[in-house]
Structure 1
Amino acid sequence: MDKWNETVNIDDDVYILGDVSWHNVTKTIGLLNNLNGNKHLVVGNHDKKFLKNRDFREQFVEVTNYKEIALDDREKMVLYYVIIRSPVLIIIIMVGIIYMVMYIIALNGK
């Protein structure tokens, strides 16, 4: 948490790409509440239960299933997407972590 708050300023936008926490919702809310930044959640498949909790949802300025952001005049995609295909269960998870890190670095001017 200290490293996060050293890197992320209070008014920075941070995109959290799904599966926020393995803790219970109460502990997760406490952790999120102590993290700097305007938190945007791109929903992961393990976030569904937490999203039923109003206090959890209020930790984020935005909750969405898909998000695109612009950086350096080019479009960047932040994506957490699960595809389940039957009868053979195929799960494809694509996470735009590189773009999230680039965005945070760009916001901090480093």
Structure 2
Amino acid sequence: MLQWRPFVDTDEMDNFIIDAWNSAVRPDDIVWHLGDFSSHNEARTQQIFNRLHGRKRLVLGNHDLHNGEVRKSLRDLAWDQPPTHYAECKQGSERIILHHYAQRTWAASCHGSWHLYGHSHGRLPAYGRSRDCGVDCSDLGYAPASFQQLTAGMRDAEVVS
């Protein structure tokens, strides 16, 4: 068993996540991956990347860097846009702040923006309009989730200033 995950080994976990990802993501969907994409070598990372549906965008995590630079295994992948340390996007009129790490406050948090992060492996509870949305969160079925799925039940959360 892999730590707290219900998989025998990384191959089983990788294949499960790839299948779950591809069940949830259409080829033209934009998927934001909030860091720590792969710790495999270049060939295995490329193989995994190529099997995943969607237009993939990366907010860099601590394991995506080596000596402050983007790991070679990630640098030349066909990202939809260059990997970054921070991103903002909109879903309709909703402003979304994307970062690898959880933050207590974030841009426009007092004005109803949302904050989505990875890094915590589902071990941090949601806070206001902020939550972990890594594919390793068991409540997400180890798959990417839409903004609507991620924020269901959080709409009336207290706004953090």
Q: What's the counterpart of residue 19 of structure 2?
A: 2
Say yes or no: does 1:69 pair with 2:86. no
* TM-aligned CA deviation for residue 11 of structure 1: 0.3
- Aligned mates of 1:60, 1:31 — CA distance in 2: 13
* TM-aligned CA deviation for residue 25 of structure 1: 2.2
Write out the 4+ residue segments of structure 1 that deviate beyond 4 Å after TM superposition.
Answer: none
Q: 1:22 to 1:104 in 2, by over 3 A?
A: farther
- Identical pairs, percent: 29
Higher relative contact order (CA 8 A, sep 6+): 1
Q: Between Structure 1 and Structure 2, which shows a larger proportion of helix residues?
A: 1
Cα RMSD over matched residues?
A: 3.0
Say yes or no: does 1:38 pair with 2:55. yes
Any stretches of 5+ residues in structure 2 without a counterpart?
1-17, 103-116, 119-130, 135-143, 151-161
Q: What's the counterpart of residue 13 of structure 1?
A: 30
Q: Aligned to 1:103, which of 134, 142, 147?
A: 147
- Aligned mates of 1:7, 1:102 — CA distance in 2: 9
Q: TM-score, normalised by structure 2?
A: 0.49
**2:49–2:77 CA contact under 8 A, matched in 1:** no
Say yes or no: does 1:60 pair with 2:85. no
- Aligned mates of 1:104, 1:14 — CA distance in 2: 14
Q: Between Structure 1 and Structure 2, which shows a larger proportion of strand residues?
A: 1
- Aligned mates of 1:12, 1:22 — CA distance in 2: 24
Deviates more, 1:60-69 or 1:73-82: 73-82
Q: What's the counterpart of residue 26 of structure 1?
A: 43
Aligned residues: 95
**2:29–2:55 CA contact under 8 A, matched in 1:** yes
**1:67–1:77 CA contact under 8 A, matched in 2:** yes
* TM-aligned CA deviation for residue 27 of structure 1: 0.3
Q: Counterpart amino acid of 2:53? A: N
